[in-house]
Amino acid sequence: MKELEYYEEIKDWDFSMFEIESESLTKWDLYEILKKLSNKDSKILDLGTGGGEKVIERYPYCAEILGTDFSEGMIETANKNLEKSGRSNITFRLMDNLEMNVPDNYFDIVVARNTVTDPKQIYKCLKPGGYLLIHGVDKDDCWGLKMIFGKGQGYTDSRPISIIDYENVINAGFKDVELVPLHEREYFKNKYLFKSFLKKVPIIDSFSEIEGDNKDYFSEELDDELLEKYIEDNTYDGKIRLLRRYYGITAKK
Ligand SMILES: C[S@@+](CC[C@H](N)C(=O)[O-])C[C@H]1O[C@@H](n2cnc3c(N)ncnc32)[C@H](O)[C@@H]1O
C-alpha cells in the first residue's frame, strides 16, 4: 500500500484507543520548545499535520498557524476537529511537503512531526532568524521487534534517517543545527491492544511504492508466532514493552 493511500485510510483513526502508556527517557520536548520560541505574533507552519489534533490541542495561541497535509482525508478531519475546537487563527489546507506552495520569508517557525521534509523548501519559506523543528522516527525504532521479523521501517536502510535529515538540514543552509536522539518506552496493557496497534502502523510492514501494489491494509498477515515470541521476551509487570527511538532536530535560518 502506498503512503498516501494509507493515510487516506486511517484519517479518522484515534490512536488513544490503544491506551499506550509512554515513558520518556530523554528530555527534548517539541511542544515545550515551540512554546519557548513563539510569541503572540508568531506565524507557524505545521507540515504533514494529519488530523490536526496536535496543532489544535498543543500549539501555542499566536497570530497564525497553517497546517498542511497531502491527504485530502486528513485535511477534512483536521477541519472538522478545528470546527469543534473553537480555536481561531488556524487554517488547514492541502499541500505536498515536497512541492511546497507557501510564500517566501514568511513563517517564524516550521514544524514537521513524523513526516517527510525538504529542508531547502522549508528554508525558503522561513523568515531570517526563523526556526525549523523536526521530530522523526529513527531507523532503530522498535529494533528488537524488527529483528525478530527480519524486516520493518528503515530496517535495511544503510544509514539512519536522523543522520540523513541532519545533513539535509545543514546542506539547506541552516545554522545552529542540533540533532537529539529521543528514547521512549511504550507499554501496552495486553496482547490484543499490542497486536491491533501493530496491524495499524507501518512499523513491521512498510509502505510499498510499487505501482499497482494494492496490498490490502497493512499486516493482516503478521506472523503470530513471531509476535508471541516478542511478547514473551518483552513483558514487564504484565505489560508489553516497545522501545521507541525518535529524534529531534532544531535549526535556525
Ligand atoms: C505519522 S503522521 C503525523 C501527523 C502529525 N504531524 C502528528 O505528529 O501527529 C504523517 C502525516 O504526514 C502526511 N504526509 C506524508 N507524506 C507527506 C507529503 N509528502 N506531503 C504532505 N504530507 C505528507 C501524512 O498524510 C500524515 O498525515
Q: Is the distance from CB of 119 to CB of 229 less than 8 angstroms?
A: no
**For the chain, give me the number of helices (H) and strands (E)?**
9, 9
Among the atoms of ligand 1, which is closest to the Cα of residue 97? 20
Q: Select from 135, 110, 134, 111 the least CA-distant residue to 124.
A: 110
Q: Could you give all domains of the chain from N- to C-terminal order, each with its CATH number?
A: 3-252 (3.40.50.150)
What is the reported pLDDT for 17? Answer: 87
What is the reported pLDDT for 217? Answer: 44
What is the reported pLDDT for 218? Answer: 52
Task: Give the distance (Å) from ligand 1 centre to CA of residue 233.
Answer: 32
Among the atoms of ligand 1, which is closest to the Cα of residue 71? 25
Q: Which residues line ligand 1 (CB under 6 A)?
A: 3, 7, 48-50, 54, 69-71, 74, 96-98, 113-116
The grid coordinates of residue 240 equal 508489553
**∠ CA 169-160-138, rounded to 5°:** 90
- From 29, 47, 70, mutation site for ligand 1 pocket: most ligand atoms within 8 A of C-beta: 70
Task: Give the distance (Å) from ligand 1 centre to CA of residue 206.
Answer: 15
Task: Give the distance (Å) from ligand 1 centre to CA of residue 74.
Answer: 9
Q: Is the distance from CB of 227 to CB of 199 less than 8 angstroms?
A: no
Q: How far apart are CA 208 and CA 222, in angstroms?
A: 16
Per-residue pLDDT of the chain (253 residues; tens, 9 = 90+): 578 887 887 777 777 889 999 999 999 999 999 999 999 999 999 999 999 999 999 999 999 999 999 999 999 999 999 999 999 999 999 999 999 999 999 999 999 999 999 999 999 999 999 999 999 999 999 999 999 999 998 999 999 999 999 999 999 999 999 999 999 999 999 999 999 899 888 898 876 555 554 454 455 578 889 999 999 999 999 999 999 999 999 999 9
Task: Give the distance (Å) from ligand 1 centre to CA of residue 72.
Answer: 11
Provide the b/e sequence for 69-92 (b: ≥16 CB within 10 Å). bbbebbbbbbbebbeeeebeebeb
Task: Give the distance (Å) from ligand 1 centre to CA of residue 24.
Answer: 23
Q: How far apart are CA 193 and CA 231, in angstroms?
A: 12
